[in-house]
Amino acid sequence: MPVNLHCPCSHHLPVPGDDGDPLRTRCRGPDHWVTSFCDHPEEAKKKQKIGGMSNPSLEAIVALKPDLVVMTTDGNPQEVDERLRTMGLRTYVWTARKLSELPDGIRALASVIRAQARGEKLAGEIETGLRRSLVKDRSSRR
């Protein structure tokens, strides 16, 4: 079941994809808004801006009525999280900072949105890709 999410970040916005996948990632949000930094696809430049990582419009986020606001420790001020919670919104703070932490971060978020099976599948695919890249990198250095 897709979850209505909002992520006040500059590029990657975890929202339900066109196929209903709750872990699909895309830059632009729903048809009526985008973050200040979204410039792809071209039509994103014409959409209403809701702010960026460090200065999202709390009013715009509240107006979207998200089930969950996804944030990151790398750019969203802690006070934004606190204010959104005070306004009655549920938040999730993404803590993965390295590529190697991405699979566990996906698993954690998937658990929060009750998409554990899909999260495990996606995390496993990423882990496999990371292992292949590491092996390929090591063999190319020989």
Q: Containing H/E element for 94?
A: strand 91-94
CA torsion 13-87-52-3 (nearest 10°) is: 10
Would you place residue 14 in the very low, low, confident or very high pLDDT band (cuts 50, 70, 90)? very low
Q: What's the confidence (pLDDT) of residue 2?
A: 42
pLDDT mean across residues, the chain:
76
Go through 60-85 and write b for each residue having 16 or more CB atoms within 10 A of its CB, e for each that does not: bbbebebebbbbbeeebeeebbeebe
Higher pLDDT among residues 60 and 83, named by residue: 83
pLDDT tens, 45-66?
777 778 888 888 899 888 888 8
Is the confidence at residue 1, as pLDDT, over 80?
no
